[in-house]
A and B are shown apart, each in its own frame.
Chain A
């Protein structure tokens, strides 16, 4: 059994501006950082993009439970891949055009690449046991990583997510014949 205590840092009693103004607790001022790398395959004929391999490294302070961390990060990456490639809430005259799971496409088992997540365990002095939050830090990376991979692979920059086959195909058509 391990017993430990942690006292959250508190703000100073007097913040200066007014004597009656007192602050309690500390705002969440700790950021997690991450680096994402996506290896994608684009079908030039149809514009269909799929992710083959994915590597992500996150600075999330001390890791208490590696399994839960990788669950969170993998889950966030998969949601991020959905955001980048399939999921689109279409709206027409105030009506949702993709109201169910056969039109709003979430990633399935067959869309999931091999995912490697590397925890970078930097000690965070303000957190208990040196940890930081690592909840959904992974979700921000995939859109940018896949967008950059697309630009690298096909020379097209898309600014609207998701990168559906139609959009990728149209973008590739419009740059045809242009010098790189």
Chain B
């Protein structure tokens, strides 16, 4: 099938098999290997991308469902909040093996865009859909809270 959509601000028209998933399209055809496939069944959140501003598991969507939509992946450039999130993760050591990190950052990005000053409980609930086997959770929370604090201060 022919599918046209916008990925990280660039319009793309692709020809793909009807049974192909979004994660395969992104990783194999488009070289956007940031989103990871771990469980392949929507449990772990490593493949989370934004579709029209909402978090979606790229392993549970068919490529054809992207028709006319706008998607954002971890590779997106020029989004200030995303860059700051990435910097905060690096600074606070919120990454160990890094496999869950793109999904974590995309979930956090969606949360902070909707609500720039979430409570700790809200952060926890939002990121509960992202599994992390290394156990970086406390550092992720520390990174997000530091970022939220610095954004609050710069907004003053």
Q: Is the CB of B125 within 8 A of A75?
A: no
Q: Is the CB of B135 within 8 A of A101?
A: no
Q: Is the CB of B127 within 8 A of A100?
A: no
- Chain A's nearest CB lies how many Å from the CB of B117? 18
| Interface presence of B128 (CB below 8 A) | yes
Partner of B137, one of A70, A102, A109: A109
Q: Is the CB of B93 within 8 A of A71?
A: yes
Contacts of B124 in A (CB 8 A): 109-110, 112
Contacts of A109 in B (CB 8 A): 123-125, 127-128, 130, 137, 140-141
| Interface presence of B27 (CB below 8 A) | no
Binary interface encoding of chain B residues 89-119 relative to chain A, with 1 for a CB under 8 A from any of its CBs, else 0: 0001100100000000000000000000000
Contacts of B125 in A (CB 8 A): 109-110
| Interface presence of B12 (CB below 8 A) | no
* Interface set, chain B 33-64, CB cutoff 8 A to A: 39, 41, 43-44
Query: Measured between alpha carbons, how far is A77 from B124 in the docked complex, in Å?
Result: 18
Q: Is the CB of B131 within 8 A of A75?
A: no
- Chain A's nearest CB lies how many Å from the CB of B98? 12
Contacts of B141 in A (CB 8 A): 109
Q: Is the CB of A101 within 8 A of B44?
A: yes
Q: Which residue of A lies closest to B42 (CB)?
A: A102
Contacts of B134 in A (CB 8 A): 71, 75
Q: Which residue of A lies closest to B133 (CB)?
A: A106
Binary interface encoding of chain A residues 68-88 relative to chain B, with 1 for a CB under 8 A from any of its CBs, else 0: 101100111111000000000
| Interface presence of B78 (CB below 8 A) | no
Interface centre among A67, A100, A108 (most CB of B within 10 A): A108
| Interface presence of B139 (CB below 8 A) | yes
Measuring CB to CB, which residues of chain B are less than 8 angstroms from any residue of chain A?
Answer: 39, 41, 43-44, 92-93, 96, 123-125, 127-128, 130-131, 133-141
Query: Measured between alpha carbons, how far is A109 from B138 in the docked complex, in Å?
Result: 8
Q: Is the CB of A75 within 8 A of B96?
A: yes
Q: Is the CB of B128 within 8 A of A110?
A: yes
Q: Is the CB of A102 within 8 A of B43?
A: yes
Query: Measured between alpha carbons, how far is A139 from B138 in the docked complex, in Å?
Result: 16
Contacts of B43 in A (CB 8 A): 100-102
Q: Is the CB of B138 within 8 A of A74?
A: yes
Query: Measured between alpha carbons, how far is A39 from B155 in the docked complex, in Å?
Result: 38
30 contacts between A and B (CB under 8 A): A68-B93, A70-B93, A70-B139, A71-B93, A74-B135, A74-B136, A74-B137, A74-B138, A74-B139, A75-B134, A75-B135, A75-B136, A76-B135, A78-B137, A79-B135, A100-B39, A101-B39, A101-B43, A101-B44, A101-B131, A107-B137, A108-B131, A109-B127, A110-B124, A110-B125, A110-B128, A112-B124, A112-B137, A112-B138, A114-B138
Query: Measured between alpha carbons, how far is A77 from B137 in the docked complex, in Å?
Result: 11
Partner of B139, one of A71, A79, A106, A108: A71
Query: Measured between alpha carbons, how far is A110 from B137 in the docked complex, in Å?
Result: 9
Query: Measured between alpha carbons, how far is A101 from B124 in the docked complex, in Å?
Result: 19
Please judge, given known A-B contacts A100-B39, A109-B124, A109-B127, whether A77 and B44 are in contact too, CB under 8 Å.
no
Query: Measured between alpha carbons, how far is A150 from B135 in the docked complex, in Å?
Result: 23
Contacts of A67 in B (CB 8 A): 92-93
